[in-house]
Amino acid sequence: MSNLYLGEGGGQGVLDVLDAKTTEVILDCSTIDVSTARAVSDAASQKGLSFMDSPVSGGVAVAAAGNLAFMCGGEAAAFEKAKSVLAPMGQKIFHAGPPGSGQVAKACNNMLLAIHMIGTCEALSMGSRSGLDPAALSEILKASSGRNWSLELYNPFPGVMPTTPASNDYAPGFMVDLMVKDLGLASEIAEQTKFASPMGGLARQLYLQHQESGKGAKDFSSIMEGLQELER
C-alpha cells in the first residue's frame, strides 16, 4: 500500500497529487501493517496533509446495513473531521490513538475473533459428538458465561442459524485467507512489542493449516470443519 501513496521507482503516488488546501483528511479503511500506516501518515504530514488509518469491522451484512465499526488512528483534529464522513457508514466510530493505532486495534479485534470462533466451534463439536443437539447447546451457552459474538450472531454449526455461512456451505462472509492475513499482522505486532500471544499464535497455526488444506476461499467459520477432522 505504501507504493500507492508514496509512489514507486520515481513515479508519483497519491500524496504527490493531492492539494493540501482542498484535502481535509485522507481516510484509509484497509487493514495493513502498522509500520506502513505510520510511514504514510508521516509522509502525508510532511506535505501538509492529514492521514488517518481507519480499518473497519462488521462483515458484509453489517456493511450493507451501514453499521460498520471504524477504528481510527491519527491526530485528534483529523478524527473530528473524519467522523462526519464515516457516520453514514457506521455509528460506531472510535479514535484508537495516534497514527497506526487503528491498525493495532483491528489486529487485536480479529485475533480475538479468531480465538473465540475456534473456541465456539470446539465447544459445539464436542457437545454434538456427545449427543447434544447443537441448536439446544447454543441456546444454553448463549444464556451462560460462554456467550460470545460467534455463538450469538455467527453460529458456525451448520443448520443452527439459517442465515450464517455455516448453513450455506461456508460461503463467505469473511474468507479464511483474510483471517490468515490478519492473524499474520497480529503476529507482527506481538513480535514488535515482545509479547508472547500464545492463544493468538495457536489460532494462526490452526487457520494456516485450514488454509493449506484448500479451504482458503471458505468463510472463516469453516474452521469448524478443520477441527472436526482432527482426531486424538
The pLDDT of residue 163: 93
C-beta of residue 175 within 8 angstroms of C-beta of residue 202 = no
> In degrees, to the nearest 5, what angle opens at C-alpha 97 toward C-alphas 57 and 205?
50
Provide the whole-model pTM.
Answer: 0.91
What gap in Å lies between CA 25 and CA 80, rounded to an integer? Answer: 10
State residue 16's pLDDT score: 82
Q: What is the pLDDT of residue 20?
A: 76
Strand partners, 131: none
Mean pLDDT of the chain: 92
**Strand pairing class (56-57; 69-73):** antiparallel
Tell me the catalytic residues: 106
Rounded mean pLDDT, 117-142: 97
**Domains of the chain by range and CATH?**
2-99 (3.40.50.720), 105-228 (1.10.1040.10)
Q: Residue 9: its pLDDT value, please? A: 63
SS3 31: coil
pLDDT at 204: 98
* Burial classification of residue 108, based on how many CB atoms lie within 10 Å of its CB (0-12 exposed, 13-18 middle, 19 or more buried): middle
